[in-house]
Amino acid sequence: MKTKLLYLTLTIILMASAGSIFGQSIGLSPELKELIMLSVDKDYKISDQNTDKAIAVTQQKAVRSAYLPKVEFGGKYLYAYSTLNSDIDEISGFESLNQIGEFMQNPAFPVLFPTLAKLSNELTSLQQLLAQQGVLLPAPTEKIAGTMYGNYFGLDASVKMLLYSGGQIPNTTKALEQKIKATEALSDKCTADVITEVINCYDQLALLSQSKKVLDESANRLESEKKYAYSALNNGFATSFDTLKIAVAEANLQAKLSEYESKSTLLHQKLSQLTGKPATYFDVTNPDLQPLIYSGTGSDVNKRAELQALSAGVEAKKYMVKAAKSCYLPKVQAVASARYDNLFAADADITDPLPVDIKINNIGLGPTFIIGVGFKWDVFDRPNGSLKVRQAELEVKKAENAKKEASELLQLNQTKSVTNYLSANSQVQFKEKQLQAARMALNLAVKSYNDGMINITERLAAETDMQNSELEYLQAVFAQRQATIECYKATGDLTLSNIR
């Protein structure tokens, strides 16, 4: 166990050194690279992530626009009509006037105030004269009654500009910047998933294509063997049972060919859906299946898009904590306004308590200009203050825990990917040697069968072993390629820049 662990560690170090020397380019065929580019351009998840990024950029601009001046202009025209009809009940406060009247009737009043006495006599004489003519001076009643109506026209304009937000806008803007980084990282993750899926489908197509070649070659050999068996049957050197076994082997080959054809059709449709190319395009595609070499970039899991997105999420939460704490700081705003008011064609006709009729032709007020600076300071607001800060701090803790958990899982996945890669390489070497032995055994079986040293059963067994060995080798190469891609993906190096 210790020896395997030491071997794994040395292998990782050597691959990391090779990566730093030879670069990060992944050896893919030009046709496969083209299919990957088409799939990335077409993928809907990547498009959605780009849309989310555009939304975050728009939100960021909207937050920053809070500092821009806001200009408002308004106007109104009103016509008002109202009637008054109320009982006053009692009027108090004029008792002293009655006392003055009683004092003026006192015999001492003319002596003390001769001038006023003469004036009061004149007023009394005037009142008596008016009464004789039918003119009575109005007396206050205990009611309020009358009508009022008029027209109003007004205009107002104002300009408001936020000078200081208490730090809320800058911190919210920085939080949105981190959100943009997170969406970019998630877009990279979607890109890596698309690359993986296209390579997997393309390699499956290559596996089927080369497997079909193996089956075709086996079918050709069986056809030759069939002709030889029928010739031997006619000459008495073989039995009908021998030809039946060949027919069974042919039926087995045809069943495998039919299975591969159906899988091939499905893969054509899948690649068409991924790339946008017609399914018929892949009918003439003849991809090769060769092992891939993992150069090892010396990267760790910190380059993984998932971790970058989580890291950006943590930073965004921290800025939201700062934005929540800014609620304790005052907000300062500059204000400027202009206003004009006009009352025209108005009338107030009051009948009680005194008959009064006021007609207004035009009363204009303004323009009135106001300019100044104001501030708002929420001294105590627990629901929007300390509670929101506490909630934001808990969100930060939750995001940090998610990042730590993801980091541990991705490190474990990286170790697993490298282990699978080493195992896949060993399998390719083993299957290659097994294939060489099967080829030698088949050649020997053909010669021995032709010389009459073995029967048809042994000959067909050698053919089956050869066929299985070739198919197993191709399957091992396919698994090795997938393991290599997973190694690049485990360290975040499965990117468009590394496959170009």
Model confidence pLDDT, tens digit, residues 3-43? 333 344 444 444 444 443 334 567 788 899 999 999 999 99
Indicate whether 471 and 485 sit together in one domain: yes
334 beta partners: 161, 373
- b/e per residue, 280-299, with b = 16+ CB within 10 A? eebeebebebebbebbbbbb
Domain assignment present for residue 62? The answer is no
Among residues 14, 25, 33, the alpha carbon closest in space to that of 275 is found at 33
pLDDT at 8: 40
Q: Could you tell me the CA-to-CA distances from 127 to 120, 142, 249, 326 in Å, in that order?
A: 10, 23, 143, 76
pLDDT at 4: 39
Indicate whether 298 and 411 sit together in one domain: yes
Domain assignment present for residue 143? The answer is yes
Indicate whether 181 and 156 sit together in one domain: no
Residue 263's contacts (CB-CB under 8 Å, 6 or more residues apart) are 204, 208
Domain assignment present for residue 209? The answer is yes
Indicate whether 180 and 226 sit together in one domain: yes
Hey, what are 221's tokens?
Answer: 């050999």
Indicate whether 300 and 339 sit together in one domain: no
Q: Which of 295-309, 338-352, 415-429 has the highest mean pLDDT?
A: 415-429
Residue corresponding to tokens 């087995």: 252
How many CB atoms sit inside 10 A of residue 359's CB?
A: 10
Give mean pLDDT, residues 264-288.
Answer: 88
Spatial distance between the Cα atoms of 109 and 103, rounded to a whole number of angstroms: 7
Question: Quick check: helix, strand or coil at residue 492?
Answer: coil
pTM for this predicted structure: 0.72
Domain assignment present for residue 65? The answer is no
Indicate whether 419 and 452 sit together in one domain: yes
When mean pLDDT is compared across 84-88, 364-368, 446-450, the lowest value belongs to: 84-88
Task: Note the Cα 228 to chain centre separation in Å.
Answer: 69
Hey, what are 330's tokens?
Answer: 């005052």
The domain in which residue 109 lies consists of: 70-127+139-163+330-376
344 beta partners: 151, 362
Instruction: Tell how strand 143-164 and strand 331-352 pair up.
Output: antiparallel
Spatial distance between the Cα atoms of 370 and 158, rounded to a whole number of angstroms: 9
Instruction: Confirm if 487 and 466 have CB atoms less than 8 A apart.
Output: no
pLDDT at 246: 66
pLDDT at 234: 58
Domain assignment present for residue 53? The answer is no
pLDDT at 81: 86
pLDDT at 214: 81
Domain assignment present for residue 112? The answer is yes
Indicate whether 85 and 221 sit together in one domain: no
Look up the CATH number of the domain holding residue 426.
1.20.1600.10
Indicate whether 364 and 410 sit together in one domain: no
Spatial distance between the Cα atoms of 212 and 261, rounded to a whole number of angstroms: 9
Hey, what are 289's tokens?
Answer: 């299946």
Q: How confident is the model at residue 467 (pLDDT cuts 50, 70, 90)?
A: confident
Indicate whether 183 and 299 sit together in one domain: yes
Residue 18's contacts (CB-CB under 8 Å, 6 or more residues apart) are 295, 296
- Reply yes or no on whether the pLDDT at 250 is more than 60: yes
Question: Quick check: helix, strand or coil at residue 151?
Answer: strand
Indicate whether 287 and 414 sit together in one domain: yes
Residue corresponding to tokens 């195992």: 423
Domain assignment present for residue 48? The answer is no
Indicate whether 449 and 425 sit together in one domain: yes
Of residues 159 and 133, the one with the higher pLDDT is 159
Indicate whether 147 and 17 sit together in one domain: no
Spatial distance between the Cα atoms of 499 and 26, rounded to a whole number of angstroms: 5
Hey, what are 366's tokens?
Answer: 């303004």
Spatial distance between the Cα atoms of 27 and 303, rounded to a whole number of angstroms: 20
* Average predicted confidence (pLDDT) for the chain: 80
Domain assignment present for residue 20? The answer is yes
Total domain count, the chain: 2
